[in-house]
Homo-oligomer: A and B are copies of this chain.
Amino acid sequence: MSIEQIYVIAEYADIFQIGARNMQNFMLLKELGRIKKPVMLKRGISATLEELLLSAEYILSQGNDEVMLCERGIRTFENYTRNTLDLSSVPSLKELSHLPIIVDPSHSTGRWRLVGPMAKSAIVAGADGILIEVHPNPKVSLSDGAQALRLKNFSKLMMELNAVAHAVDREINLTGNVD
């Protein structure tokens, strides 16, 4: 992503998602700090929690305080999964920061069968939001089909997430998500 694109995107998008590869693109982060749009900052695949928080500071320091952190897996030696979802980062980041934390079980695992269990775990671990890839027909998806949920499985998962959230005294806002 280039810095010039920010202003065009800002006209149409509700939230900026900064991908793992751009987590340390500091000039981009500073520019995002000067706009008034929420930014979801994804953790780099080999970024420590400290580095993630320091990157968030580039945005916050310019006056934009609507920053969300996103755990989306780190690169390890294990390759059954695409990356290793570091779920203990959620309560760890809660100790270190006030920023909301989103978990992405789709990109981290790279396997749709693991998305449900990891989404539920994320809620219970304290995540403030979950990013799930859904596709009406994953087999024809142009990218990331292997990790996308079908609509039916997504609806089922949302019901399960709701039950799990209740068990930890939390509420999931289903508005507009499932029909």
Contacts and interface: CB of A to CB of B under 8 A. Distances in A.
A13 interface: no
Nearest to A86: B84
Interface stretch (A21-29, A33-41, A62-70): A21-29
B80 A77 contact: no
A124 B95 CA distance: 22
Q: How large is the interface on A (under 10, 10 to 19, 20 to 34, 35 or more residues)?
A: 35 or more
A93 to B, nearest CB: 9
Nearest to A85: B88
A125 to B, nearest CB: 5
A18 to B, nearest CB: 12
Contact of A168 (B109, B122, B160): B160
A94 to B, nearest CB: 8
A118 interface: yes
Interface string A91-126: 110010000000000001101011001101111111
Contact of A48 (B79, B118, B125): B79
A14 interface: no
A17 interface: no
Interface string A31-52: 0000000000000111011100
A74 interface: yes
A80 B51 CA distance: 11
B84 A74 contact: yes
A114 B85 contact: no
A44 B160 CA distance: 33
12 contacts: A2-B28, A74-B84, A76-B76, A77-B77, A81-B92, A85-B86, A90-B117, A121-B122, A121-B124, A121-B125, A163-B167, A164-B167
